[in-house]
Protein backbone atom coordinates (compact mmCIF):
# COMPACT_ATOMS: atom_id res chain seq x y z
CA UNK A 1 0.00 0.00 0.00
CA UNK A 2 1.30 3.41 -0.97
CA UNK A 3 2.94 5.75 -0.30
CA UNK A 4 5.77 3.40 -1.06
CA UNK A 5 8.66 5.65 0.06
CA UNK A 6 11.36 4.61 -2.39
CA UNK A 7 14.93 4.08 -1.25
CA UNK A 8 16.41 7.60 -0.68
CA UNK A 9 18.92 7.85 -3.52
CA UNK A 10 16.57 6.24 -5.99
CA UNK A 11 13.90 8.62 -4.74
CA UNK A 12 16.02 11.61 -5.72
CA UNK A 13 16.33 10.16 -9.22
CA UNK A 14 12.56 9.83 -9.31
CA UNK A 15 12.29 13.44 -8.15
CA UNK A 16 14.45 14.43 -11.10
CA UNK A 17 12.25 12.51 -13.54
CA UNK A 18 8.98 13.77 -12.07
CA UNK A 19 10.38 17.30 -12.03
CA UNK A 20 11.35 16.91 -15.68
CA UNK A 21 7.77 16.16 -16.69
CA UNK A 22 6.49 18.86 -14.36
CA UNK A 23 8.71 21.44 -16.07
CA UNK A 24 7.97 20.10 -19.54
CA UNK A 25 4.22 20.22 -18.94
CA UNK A 26 4.24 23.70 -17.41
CA UNK A 27 6.31 25.03 -20.27
CA UNK A 28 4.36 23.29 -23.00
CA UNK A 29 1.02 24.21 -21.42
CA UNK A 30 1.99 27.81 -22.00
CA UNK A 31 2.89 28.73 -18.44
CA UNK A 32 6.28 30.03 -19.46
CA UNK A 33 5.01 33.42 -20.44
CA UNK A 34 3.48 35.94 -18.07
CA UNK A 35 1.21 37.16 -20.85
CA UNK A 36 -0.63 33.86 -20.88
CA UNK A 37 -0.63 33.60 -17.10
CA UNK A 38 -2.19 36.99 -16.38
CA UNK A 39 -4.67 36.42 -19.20
CA UNK A 40 -6.76 34.62 -16.64
CA UNK A 41 -7.23 37.90 -14.77
CA UNK A 42 -8.15 39.97 -17.79
CA UNK A 43 -10.35 37.42 -19.49
CA UNK A 44 -8.43 37.04 -22.72
CA UNK A 45 -6.83 33.69 -21.94
CA UNK A 46 -8.09 31.15 -19.41
CA UNK A 47 -5.52 28.47 -20.23
CA UNK A 48 -4.20 28.63 -16.66
CA UNK A 49 -7.67 28.01 -15.32
CA UNK A 50 -8.23 25.03 -17.62
CA UNK A 51 -4.90 23.39 -16.91
CA UNK A 52 -4.96 24.10 -13.20
CA UNK A 53 -8.49 22.92 -12.58
CA UNK A 54 -8.13 19.84 -14.77
CA UNK A 55 -4.97 18.90 -12.90
CA UNK A 56 -6.75 19.32 -9.57
CA UNK A 57 -9.74 17.14 -10.49
CA UNK A 58 -7.50 14.53 -12.08
CA UNK A 59 -5.51 14.50 -8.85
CA UNK A 60 -8.65 14.08 -6.76
CA UNK A 61 -9.98 11.23 -8.87
CA UNK A 62 -6.57 9.57 -8.84
CA UNK A 63 -6.23 9.77 -5.07
CA UNK A 64 -9.79 8.56 -4.58
CA UNK A 65 -9.30 5.63 -6.97
CA UNK A 66 -5.99 4.58 -5.42
CA UNK A 67 -7.57 4.71 -1.98
CA UNK A 68 -10.57 2.73 -3.15
CA UNK A 69 -8.45 -0.08 -4.51
CA UNK A 70 -6.38 -0.17 -1.35
CA UNK A 71 -3.27 1.11 -3.11
CA UNK A 72 -2.87 4.29 -1.11
CA UNK A 73 -3.15 4.85 2.62
CA UNK A 74 -4.97 8.14 2.97
CA UNK A 75 -3.79 8.40 6.57
CA UNK A 76 -0.20 8.58 5.47
CA UNK A 77 -0.38 11.30 2.83
CA UNK A 78 0.35 14.94 3.53
CA UNK A 79 -2.79 17.01 3.96
CA UNK A 80 -2.05 20.71 3.96
CA UNK A 81 -2.61 22.04 7.47
CA UNK A 82 -5.05 24.88 7.87
CA UNK A 83 -3.74 27.92 9.69
CA UNK A 84 -6.75 30.00 8.82
CA UNK A 85 -5.48 33.57 8.95
CA UNK A 86 -2.02 32.67 7.80
CA UNK A 87 -3.47 31.03 4.68
CA UNK A 88 -5.76 33.97 3.98
CA UNK A 89 -3.03 36.58 4.46
CA UNK A 90 -0.58 34.45 2.48
CA UNK A 91 -3.12 34.04 -0.33
CA UNK A 92 -3.74 37.77 -0.51
CA UNK A 93 -0.01 38.55 -0.61
CA UNK A 94 0.45 35.90 -3.31
CA UNK A 95 -2.48 37.42 -5.23
CA UNK A 96 -0.63 40.75 -5.21
CA UNK A 97 2.54 38.97 -6.27
CA UNK A 98 0.76 37.24 -9.13
CA UNK A 99 -0.84 40.33 -10.65
CA UNK A 100 2.24 42.50 -10.18
CA UNK A 101 4.88 39.93 -11.09
CA UNK A 102 2.95 37.91 -13.64
CA UNK A 103 4.27 34.56 -12.47
CA UNK A 104 4.08 32.12 -9.62
CA UNK A 105 7.26 30.42 -8.33
CA UNK A 106 7.04 27.23 -10.42
CA UNK A 107 6.19 28.97 -13.65
CA UNK A 108 8.85 31.62 -13.11
CA UNK A 109 11.57 28.99 -12.76
CA UNK A 110 10.39 27.31 -15.98
CA UNK A 111 10.30 30.62 -17.82
CA UNK A 112 13.73 31.63 -16.59
CA UNK A 113 15.26 28.61 -18.23
CA UNK A 114 13.75 29.27 -21.61
CA UNK A 115 15.29 32.71 -21.50
CA UNK A 116 12.71 35.02 -19.96
CA UNK A 117 14.70 37.71 -18.18
CA UNK A 118 11.60 39.03 -16.41
CA UNK A 119 11.05 35.54 -14.97
CA UNK A 120 14.62 35.47 -13.67
CA UNK A 121 13.96 38.73 -11.83
CA UNK A 122 10.79 37.20 -10.40
CA UNK A 123 12.72 34.17 -9.11
CA UNK A 124 15.27 36.47 -7.49
CA UNK A 125 12.35 38.31 -5.93
CA UNK A 126 10.94 35.06 -4.53
CA UNK A 127 14.27 34.25 -2.90
CA UNK A 128 14.50 37.75 -1.43
CA UNK A 129 10.93 37.48 -0.16
CA UNK A 130 11.63 34.17 1.57
CA UNK A 131 14.84 35.60 3.02
CA UNK A 132 12.93 38.58 4.41
CA UNK A 133 10.38 36.22 5.93
CA UNK A 134 13.15 34.23 7.62
CA UNK A 135 14.79 37.38 8.99
CA UNK A 136 11.53 38.89 10.17
CA UNK A 137 10.01 35.66 11.45
CA UNK A 138 9.74 36.71 15.12
CA UNK A 139 7.50 39.60 14.02
CA UNK A 140 5.06 37.37 12.17
CA UNK A 141 5.33 34.14 14.11
CA UNK A 142 2.00 34.74 15.84
CA UNK A 143 0.16 34.99 12.57
CA UNK A 144 2.09 32.13 10.98
CA UNK A 145 1.50 29.69 13.81
CA UNK A 146 -1.89 30.99 14.91
CA UNK A 147 -5.49 29.97 14.18
CA UNK A 148 -4.52 26.37 13.58
CA UNK A 149 -7.51 24.27 12.65
CA UNK A 150 -6.01 20.89 11.95
CA UNK A 151 -5.90 19.32 8.52
CA UNK A 152 -9.53 19.40 7.46
CA UNK A 153 -10.60 18.09 4.10
CA UNK A 154 -13.35 19.92 2.32
CA UNK A 155 -15.71 16.96 1.91
CA UNK A 156 -15.55 16.43 5.68
CA UNK A 157 -16.21 20.09 6.32
CA UNK A 158 -19.21 19.98 3.99
CA UNK A 159 -20.19 16.66 5.53
CA UNK A 160 -20.51 14.81 2.24
CA UNK A 161 -18.67 11.77 0.93
CA UNK A 162 -15.37 12.04 -0.88
CA UNK A 163 -17.01 10.64 -4.01
CA UNK A 164 -19.90 13.09 -4.03
CA UNK A 165 -17.51 15.94 -3.47
CA UNK A 166 -15.35 14.82 -6.39
CA UNK A 167 -18.46 14.50 -8.54
CA UNK A 168 -19.57 18.04 -7.70
CA UNK A 169 -16.14 19.56 -8.31
CA UNK A 170 -15.86 17.88 -11.72
CA UNK A 171 -19.29 19.14 -12.74
CA UNK A 172 -18.39 22.60 -11.45
CA UNK A 173 -15.07 22.55 -13.32
CA UNK A 174 -16.75 21.81 -16.63
CA UNK A 175 -19.35 24.44 -16.01
CA UNK A 176 -16.53 26.97 -15.53
CA UNK A 177 -14.78 25.78 -18.72
CA UNK A 178 -17.96 26.59 -20.58
CA UNK A 179 -18.28 29.95 -18.84
CA UNK A 180 -14.68 31.09 -19.36
CA UNK A 181 -14.98 30.28 -23.04
CA UNK A 182 -17.91 32.70 -23.23
CA UNK A 183 -15.81 35.36 -21.51
CA UNK A 184 -12.89 34.81 -23.88
CA UNK A 185 -15.15 35.09 -26.92
CA UNK A 186 -16.45 38.38 -25.61
CA UNK A 187 -13.09 39.86 -24.62
CA UNK A 188 -11.29 38.70 -27.76
CA UNK A 189 -14.08 39.61 -30.15
CA UNK A 190 -15.16 36.13 -31.04
CA UNK A 191 -11.83 34.35 -30.56
CA UNK A 192 -11.27 31.72 -27.91
CA UNK A 193 -7.87 30.96 -26.40
CA UNK A 194 -8.83 27.30 -26.24
CA UNK A 195 -7.62 25.40 -29.30
CA UNK A 196 -9.78 22.37 -28.50
CA UNK A 197 -12.28 21.65 -31.31
CA UNK A 198 -15.90 21.65 -30.19
CA UNK A 199 -16.36 17.95 -30.91
CA UNK A 200 -13.26 17.03 -28.92
CA UNK A 201 -14.39 19.18 -26.02
CA UNK A 202 -17.76 17.41 -26.09
CA UNK A 203 -15.95 14.07 -25.86
CA UNK A 204 -13.78 15.29 -22.98
CA UNK A 205 -16.88 16.51 -21.17
CA UNK A 206 -18.62 13.19 -21.75
CA UNK A 207 -15.61 11.33 -20.40
CA UNK A 208 -15.44 13.60 -17.37
CA UNK A 209 -19.12 13.06 -16.60
CA UNK A 210 -18.60 9.30 -16.72
CA UNK A 211 -15.60 9.62 -14.41
CA UNK A 212 -17.59 11.89 -12.10
CA UNK A 213 -20.43 9.36 -11.85
CA UNK A 214 -17.87 6.60 -11.34
CA UNK A 215 -16.37 8.62 -8.48
CA UNK A 216 -19.71 8.45 -6.67
CA UNK A 217 -19.40 4.69 -6.38
CA UNK A 218 -15.83 4.23 -5.24
CA UNK A 219 -15.63 5.00 -1.54
CA UNK A 220 -12.04 5.14 -0.28
CA UNK A 221 -10.81 2.33 1.88
CA UNK A 222 -9.66 4.19 4.92
CA UNK A 223 -7.75 2.07 7.36
CA UNK A 224 -7.80 3.97 10.59
CA UNK A 225 -4.44 4.09 12.16
CA UNK A 226 -5.83 3.40 15.60
CA UNK A 227 -6.97 -0.05 14.54
CA UNK A 228 -3.41 -0.69 13.39
CA UNK A 229 -2.00 0.86 16.55
CA UNK A 230 -3.98 -1.56 18.72
CA UNK A 231 -2.05 -4.50 17.26
CA UNK A 232 0.92 -5.49 19.44
CA UNK A 233 3.36 -5.44 16.54
CA UNK A 234 2.37 -2.00 15.26
CA UNK A 235 5.37 -0.19 13.81
CA UNK A 236 7.60 -3.16 14.56
CA UNK A 237 9.96 -2.44 11.70
CA UNK A 238 10.30 1.23 12.56
CA UNK A 239 13.36 2.74 14.14
CA UNK A 240 12.68 4.02 17.65
CA UNK A 241 15.02 6.24 19.69
CA UNK A 242 15.61 5.11 23.24
CA UNK A 243 16.97 7.16 26.11
CA UNK A 244 18.12 5.54 29.34
CA UNK A 245 16.89 6.53 32.80
CA UNK A 246 20.46 7.48 33.68
CA UNK A 247 20.76 9.94 30.84
CA UNK A 248 17.43 11.48 31.72
CA UNK A 249 18.59 11.78 35.34
CA UNK A 250 21.86 13.45 34.36
CA UNK A 251 20.08 15.89 32.13
CA UNK A 252 17.52 16.70 34.80
CA UNK A 253 20.26 17.47 37.29
CA UNK A 254 22.03 19.65 34.75
CA UNK A 255 18.80 21.58 34.33
CA UNK A 256 18.52 20.59 30.67
CA UNK A 257 15.41 22.29 29.33
CA UNK A 258 15.32 20.47 26.02
CA UNK A 259 13.43 17.45 27.33
CA UNK A 260 9.71 17.20 27.68
CA UNK A 261 7.77 14.17 28.79
CA UNK A 262 4.59 12.48 27.73
CA UNK A 263 3.20 10.18 30.40
CA UNK A 264 0.87 7.49 29.11
CA UNK A 265 -0.05 6.03 32.50
CA UNK A 266 -3.40 6.34 34.22
CA UNK A 267 -4.19 9.81 35.60
CA UNK A 268 -4.11 8.46 39.17
CA UNK A 269 -0.53 7.21 38.84
CA UNK A 270 0.44 10.34 36.98
CA UNK A 271 -0.81 12.64 39.72
CA UNK A 272 1.09 10.75 42.36
CA UNK A 273 4.48 11.04 40.73
CA UNK A 274 5.61 11.89 37.22
CA UNK A 275 8.63 13.26 35.41
CA UNK A 276 9.01 17.05 35.46
CA UNK A 277 6.23 18.93 33.70
CA UNK A 278 5.06 15.77 31.99
CA UNK A 279 1.87 15.80 30.01
CA UNK A 280 -0.52 12.99 30.77
CA UNK A 281 -2.12 11.76 27.58
CA UNK A 282 -3.27 8.75 25.64
CA UNK A 283 -1.82 7.91 22.23
CA UNK A 284 -5.32 8.42 20.83
CA UNK A 285 -4.89 12.10 21.62
CA UNK A 286 -1.64 12.58 19.76
CA UNK A 287 -3.37 14.58 17.07
CA UNK A 288 -5.05 16.98 19.41
CA UNK A 289 -3.96 20.56 19.56
CA UNK A 290 -2.31 20.28 22.98
CA UNK A 291 -0.25 17.32 21.90
CA UNK A 292 0.65 18.99 18.64
CA UNK A 293 2.10 21.85 20.62
CA UNK A 294 4.09 19.38 22.68
CA UNK A 295 5.46 17.32 19.80
CA UNK A 296 6.13 20.32 17.60
CA UNK A 297 7.83 22.43 20.28
CA UNK A 298 10.95 23.85 18.70
CA UNK A 299 14.29 22.62 19.98
CA UNK A 300 12.81 20.02 22.30
CA UNK A 301 12.74 16.27 22.30
CA UNK A 302 9.66 14.48 23.56
CA UNK A 303 10.22 11.46 25.76
CA UNK A 304 7.37 8.98 26.01
CA UNK A 305 6.96 6.63 28.95
CA UNK A 306 4.45 4.45 30.75
CA UNK A 307 4.48 1.16 32.62
CA UNK A 308 4.30 -0.83 29.40
CA UNK A 309 7.35 -0.95 27.14
CA UNK A 310 5.42 -2.15 24.15
CA UNK A 311 2.87 0.61 24.54
CA UNK A 312 5.68 3.17 24.64
CA UNK A 313 7.24 1.78 21.51
CA UNK A 314 3.94 1.71 19.64
CA UNK A 315 3.12 5.22 20.83
CA UNK A 316 6.45 6.51 19.49
CA UNK A 317 5.77 4.75 16.19
CA UNK A 318 2.31 6.30 16.09
CA UNK A 319 3.71 9.77 16.75
CA UNK A 320 6.12 9.27 13.86
CA UNK A 321 3.43 7.95 11.55
CA UNK A 322 1.07 10.82 12.16
CA UNK A 323 3.82 13.13 11.08
CA UNK A 324 5.90 14.41 13.98
CA UNK A 325 9.65 14.69 13.53
CA UNK A 326 11.07 11.21 14.17
CA UNK A 327 14.36 12.50 15.57
CA UNK A 328 12.49 14.37 18.31
CA UNK A 329 10.51 11.38 19.52
CA UNK A 330 12.14 9.26 22.20
CA UNK A 331 11.13 6.41 24.47
CA UNK A 332 12.31 6.11 28.05
CA UNK A 333 14.00 2.75 28.17
CA UNK A 334 12.20 0.48 30.57
CA UNK A 335 9.50 3.08 31.13
CA UNK A 336 8.60 4.57 34.47
CA UNK A 337 9.23 1.35 36.42
CA UNK A 338 12.86 1.35 35.31
CA UNK A 339 13.25 5.03 36.14
CA UNK A 340 11.81 4.42 39.59
CA UNK A 341 13.89 1.35 40.27
CA UNK A 342 17.18 2.62 38.82
CA UNK A 343 17.08 6.23 39.85
CA UNK A 344 14.44 7.21 42.37
CA UNK A 345 14.48 4.15 44.60
CA UNK A 346 17.93 2.98 43.73
CA UNK A 347 19.48 0.60 46.22
CA UNK A 348 23.10 -0.26 45.52
CA UNK A 349 23.97 -3.93 45.77
CA UNK A 350 25.71 -5.06 48.93
CA UNK A 351 28.90 -5.72 47.00
CA UNK A 352 29.91 -3.08 44.48
CA UNK A 353 30.64 -4.56 41.06
CA UNK A 354 34.20 -4.66 39.82
CA UNK A 355 33.34 -3.07 36.49
CA UNK A 356 34.34 0.56 36.80
CA UNK A 357 31.66 1.87 34.50
CA UNK A 358 28.96 0.09 36.39
CA UNK A 359 30.35 1.18 39.71
CA UNK A 360 30.41 4.81 38.64
CA UNK A 361 26.83 4.48 37.48
CA UNK A 362 25.79 3.03 40.80
CA UNK A 363 27.57 5.71 42.73
CA UNK A 364 25.92 8.35 40.60
CA UNK A 365 22.50 6.85 41.12
CA UNK A 366 23.00 6.53 44.85
CA UNK A 367 24.15 10.10 45.22
CA UNK A 368 21.77 11.82 42.86
CA UNK A 369 18.66 9.65 43.10
CA UNK A 370 17.22 11.68 45.98
CA UNK A 371 18.04 14.91 44.17
CA UNK A 372 16.16 13.73 41.08
CA UNK A 373 13.27 12.77 43.31
CA UNK A 374 13.28 16.31 44.66
CA UNK A 375 13.20 17.74 41.13
CA UNK A 376 10.20 15.56 40.37
CA UNK A 377 8.40 16.62 43.50
CA UNK A 378 9.14 20.30 42.96
CA UNK A 379 7.86 20.32 39.42
CA UNK A 380 4.15 20.16 39.21
CA UNK A 381 3.14 17.93 36.33
CA UNK A 382 1.70 19.99 33.53
CA UNK A 383 -1.84 18.83 33.13
CA UNK A 384 -4.02 15.93 32.23
CA UNK A 385 -5.08 16.20 28.63
CA UNK A 386 -8.80 15.70 28.86
CA UNK A 387 -9.89 12.74 26.76
CA UNK A 388 -11.93 14.06 23.88
CA UNK A 389 -11.11 11.63 21.10
CA UNK A 390 -14.22 11.58 18.95
CA UNK A 391 -13.12 10.53 15.54
CA UNK A 392 -10.77 7.74 14.77
CA UNK A 393 -7.22 8.87 14.37
CA UNK A 394 -6.25 8.99 10.76
CA UNK A 395 -3.19 11.06 10.34
CA UNK A 396 -3.56 14.29 12.24
CA UNK A 397 -6.87 15.55 11.03
CA UNK B 1 8.60 35.12 -33.47
CA UNK B 2 8.10 34.21 -37.11
CA UNK B 3 5.60 31.53 -36.41
CA UNK B 4 3.20 31.03 -33.52
CA UNK B 5 4.43 27.98 -31.64
CA UNK B 6 1.58 25.85 -30.52
CA UNK B 7 1.01 24.89 -26.93
CA UNK B 8 -0.31 21.63 -25.67
CA UNK B 9 -4.05 21.19 -25.35
CA UNK B 10 -4.88 22.62 -21.90
CA UNK B 11 -7.10 19.72 -20.86
CA UNK B 12 -4.48 17.19 -21.83
CA UNK B 13 -1.78 19.18 -20.04
CA UNK B 14 -3.96 19.42 -16.95
CA UNK B 15 -4.75 15.72 -17.06
CA UNK B 16 -1.08 14.75 -17.32
CA UNK B 17 -0.14 17.23 -14.60
CA UNK B 18 -2.80 15.69 -12.37
CA UNK B 19 -1.42 12.19 -13.00
CA UNK B 20 2.03 13.45 -12.10
CA UNK B 21 0.73 14.75 -8.77
CA UNK B 22 -0.93 11.41 -8.07
CA UNK B 23 2.31 9.63 -8.88
CA UNK B 24 4.28 11.91 -6.56
CA UNK B 25 1.79 11.32 -3.75
CA UNK B 26 1.81 7.58 -4.37
CA UNK B 27 5.59 7.55 -4.08
CA UNK B 28 6.12 9.86 -1.11
CA UNK B 29 2.76 10.90 0.25
CA UNK B 30 3.44 14.45 -0.90
CA UNK B 31 2.89 16.27 -4.16
CA UNK B 32 4.87 18.68 -6.27
CA UNK B 33 6.29 21.97 -5.11
CA UNK B 34 8.19 25.03 -6.19
CA UNK B 35 8.48 27.67 -3.46
CA UNK B 36 9.75 25.00 -1.06
CA UNK B 37 12.75 24.45 -3.29
CA UNK B 38 13.51 28.17 -3.36
CA UNK B 39 13.21 28.16 0.42
CA UNK B 40 15.66 25.27 0.69
CA UNK B 41 18.03 27.19 -1.56
CA UNK B 42 17.77 30.29 0.60
CA UNK B 43 18.26 28.28 3.79
CA UNK B 44 21.16 26.33 2.30
CA UNK B 45 22.80 29.59 1.29
CA UNK B 46 22.32 31.12 4.73
CA UNK B 47 23.83 27.99 6.27
CA UNK B 48 26.82 28.21 3.96
CA UNK B 49 27.41 31.92 4.59
CA UNK B 50 26.59 31.92 8.30
CA UNK B 51 26.70 28.39 9.75
CA UNK B 52 25.98 29.61 13.26
CA UNK B 53 23.43 32.19 12.35
CA UNK B 54 21.69 33.74 15.33
CA UNK B 55 18.56 34.46 13.32
CA UNK B 56 15.84 32.86 15.46
CA UNK B 57 14.22 31.12 12.50
CA UNK B 58 17.52 29.58 11.46
CA UNK B 59 18.37 28.43 14.98
CA UNK B 60 15.08 26.63 15.22
CA UNK B 61 15.42 25.28 11.68
CA UNK B 62 18.94 23.98 12.29
CA UNK B 63 17.83 22.33 15.51
CA UNK B 64 14.98 20.48 13.85
CA UNK B 65 16.51 19.73 10.44
CA UNK B 66 19.78 17.87 10.84
CA UNK B 67 19.94 16.96 7.15
CA UNK B 68 21.21 19.17 4.38
CA UNK B 69 18.57 21.27 2.64
CA UNK B 70 20.27 20.49 -0.68
CA UNK B 71 19.91 16.75 -0.84
CA UNK B 72 16.16 16.87 -0.78
CA UNK B 73 13.34 15.72 -2.99
CA UNK B 74 12.22 19.27 -3.78
CA UNK B 75 15.63 20.43 -4.93
CA UNK B 76 16.03 17.46 -7.26
CA UNK B 77 12.51 17.91 -8.52
CA UNK B 78 13.30 21.52 -9.38
CA UNK B 79 16.50 20.52 -11.17
CA UNK B 80 14.31 18.17 -13.20
CA UNK B 81 11.80 20.96 -13.76
CA UNK B 82 14.53 23.23 -15.09
CA UNK B 83 15.73 20.57 -17.52
CA UNK B 84 12.17 19.73 -18.53
CA UNK B 85 11.27 23.34 -19.23
CA UNK B 86 14.46 23.87 -21.18
CA UNK B 87 13.93 20.73 -23.27
CA UNK B 88 10.35 21.70 -24.01
CA UNK B 89 11.48 25.18 -24.99
CA UNK B 90 14.14 23.65 -27.22
CA UNK B 91 11.78 21.21 -28.94
CA UNK B 92 9.13 23.83 -29.50
CA UNK B 93 11.55 26.53 -30.50
CA UNK B 94 10.73 28.89 -27.67
CA UNK B 95 14.15 29.28 -26.09
CA UNK B 96 15.34 32.82 -26.44
CA UNK B 97 16.38 35.70 -24.25
CA UNK B 98 13.63 38.23 -23.96
CA UNK B 99 12.06 40.60 -21.48
CA UNK B 100 8.35 40.27 -21.91
CA UNK B 101 6.36 43.31 -20.98
CA UNK B 102 3.05 44.99 -21.63
CA UNK B 103 2.87 47.54 -24.45
CA UNK B 104 2.55 50.51 -22.11
CA UNK B 105 5.55 49.89 -19.87
CA UNK B 106 9.30 49.76 -20.40
CA UNK B 107 11.48 46.71 -19.87
CA UNK B 108 12.87 48.38 -16.78
CA UNK B 109 9.43 48.83 -15.24
CA UNK B 110 8.65 45.21 -16.04
CA UNK B 111 11.78 43.99 -14.28
CA UNK B 112 11.08 46.09 -11.20
CA UNK B 113 7.51 44.79 -11.11
CA UNK B 114 8.80 41.23 -11.53
CA UNK B 115 11.14 41.55 -8.53
CA UNK B 116 8.40 43.11 -6.40
CA UNK B 117 5.88 40.48 -7.48
CA UNK B 118 8.39 37.75 -6.76
CA UNK B 119 9.13 39.14 -3.31
CA UNK B 120 5.46 39.26 -2.47
CA UNK B 121 4.96 35.75 -3.76
CA UNK B 122 7.94 34.58 -1.73
CA UNK B 123 6.60 36.11 1.47
CA UNK B 124 3.04 35.00 0.78
CA UNK B 125 4.11 31.44 0.10
CA UNK B 126 5.56 31.23 3.59
CA UNK B 127 2.29 32.26 5.19
CA UNK B 128 0.37 30.06 2.81
CA UNK B 129 2.75 27.16 3.50
CA UNK B 130 3.32 26.67 -0.18
CA UNK B 131 2.66 28.45 -3.44
CA UNK B 132 0.25 27.76 -6.28
CA UNK B 133 1.79 24.29 -6.72
CA UNK B 134 2.47 22.99 -3.24
CA UNK B 135 -0.41 24.65 -1.43
CA UNK B 136 -2.94 25.23 -4.20
CA UNK B 137 -2.67 22.38 -6.65
CA UNK B 138 -1.49 19.62 -4.32
CA UNK B 139 -3.80 20.91 -1.63
CA UNK B 140 -6.81 20.62 -3.89
CA UNK B 141 -5.77 17.19 -5.13
CA UNK B 142 -5.80 15.91 -1.54
CA UNK B 143 -9.10 17.68 -0.86
CA UNK B 144 -7.62 19.92 1.84
CA UNK B 145 -9.58 22.97 2.92
CA UNK B 146 -6.29 24.89 3.01
CA UNK B 147 -5.65 24.06 -0.66
CA UNK B 148 -9.05 25.22 -1.86
CA UNK B 149 -8.94 28.28 0.34
CA UNK B 150 -5.49 29.44 -0.74
CA UNK B 151 -6.34 28.94 -4.42
CA UNK B 152 -9.57 30.89 -4.00
CA UNK B 153 -7.80 33.72 -2.17
CA UNK B 154 -4.87 33.97 -4.62
CA UNK B 155 -7.10 34.13 -7.68
CA UNK B 156 -9.77 36.18 -5.93
CA UNK B 157 -7.18 38.78 -4.95
CA UNK B 158 -5.82 38.73 -8.49
CA UNK B 159 -9.26 39.48 -9.90
CA UNK B 160 -9.93 42.28 -7.44
CA UNK B 161 -6.57 43.86 -8.21
CA UNK B 162 -6.52 43.29 -11.96
CA UNK B 163 -8.23 46.59 -12.90
CA UNK B 164 -5.67 48.55 -10.88
CA UNK B 165 -2.67 46.93 -12.57
CA UNK B 166 -4.01 46.99 -16.09
CA UNK B 167 -1.23 49.28 -17.19
CA UNK B 168 1.36 46.62 -16.48
CA UNK B 169 -0.22 44.16 -18.87
CA UNK B 170 -2.62 45.63 -21.40
Q: Which of B15, B16, B27 sits opposite A3 (nearest CB)?
A: B27
pLDDT confidence tier of residue A378, bands split at 50, 70 and 90: confident
Beta bridge partners of A263: A280, A305
Among chain B residues, CA nearest to A67: B26
* Percentage, residues of chain B above pLDDT 90: 85
Of the candidate ranges A166-170, A217-221, B23-27, the one whose mean pLDDT is the lowest = A217-221
* Distance (Å, whole) CA B66 – CA B58: 12
pLDDT of B14 over the 50 cut:
yes
Burial class (CB in 10 A: 0-12, 13-18, 19+), A27: buried
Q: What is the pLDDT of residues A175-198, one digit of tens each?
A: 999 999 999 999 999 999 998 999
pLDDT of A49 over the 50 cut:
yes
In the prediction, which pLDDT does A387 show? 42
In the prediction, which pLDDT does A306 show? 94
The whole-model pTM stands at: 0.73
pLDDT of B2 over the 60 cut:
no
ipTM: 0.96
> Which of A139, A143, A25 is closest to A87 using CA atoms?
A143
Average pLDDT over residues B34-46: 95
Q: What is the pLDDT of residues A235-285, one digit of tens each?
A: 888 899 999 999 999 999 998 888 999 999 988 888 888 998 888 888 877
pLDDT of B95 over the 80 cut:
yes
Give the three-class secondary structure for A331: strand
Given 3-state DSSP classes, what are the helix, strand and coil percentages for chain B, each rounded to the nearest 5? Answer: 70, 0, 30
Q: Which of A4, A23, A94 sits opposite B85 (nearest CB)?
A: A23
Cα-based angle A339, A345, A348 (whole degrees, multiple of 5): 105
In the prediction, which pLDDT does A397 show? 41
Q: What is the mean pLDDT of chain A?
A: 89
Flag if A99 and B161 touch (Cβ within 8 Å): yes
Mutate which of B57, B63, B77, B84 to test chain A, going by most A C-beta atoms within 10 A?
B84
In the prediction, which pLDDT does B1 show? 41
In the prediction, which pLDDT does A223 show? 59
Q: What is the pLDDT of residues B108-130, one digit of tens each?
A: 999 999 999 999 999 999 999 99
Amino acid sequence: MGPIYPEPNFNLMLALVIGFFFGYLLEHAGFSTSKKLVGVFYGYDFTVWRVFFTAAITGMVGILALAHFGLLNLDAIYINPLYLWSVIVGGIIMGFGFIIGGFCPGTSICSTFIGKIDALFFVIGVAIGIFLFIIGYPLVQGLHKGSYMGTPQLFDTLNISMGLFTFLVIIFAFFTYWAVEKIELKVNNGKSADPTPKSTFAKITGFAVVVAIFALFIPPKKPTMLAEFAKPDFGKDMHINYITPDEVAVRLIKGDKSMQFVDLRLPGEFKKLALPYAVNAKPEQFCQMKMKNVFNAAGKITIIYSNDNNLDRRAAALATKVGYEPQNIWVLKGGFPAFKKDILDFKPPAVMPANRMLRTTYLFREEFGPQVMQILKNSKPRKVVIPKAKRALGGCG
Amino acid sequence: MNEETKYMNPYLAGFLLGLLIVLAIYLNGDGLGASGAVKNTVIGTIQAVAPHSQIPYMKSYNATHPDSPWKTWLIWEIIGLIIGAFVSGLIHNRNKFVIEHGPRISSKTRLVAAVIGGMLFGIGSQFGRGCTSGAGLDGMAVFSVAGFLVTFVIFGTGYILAPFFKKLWL
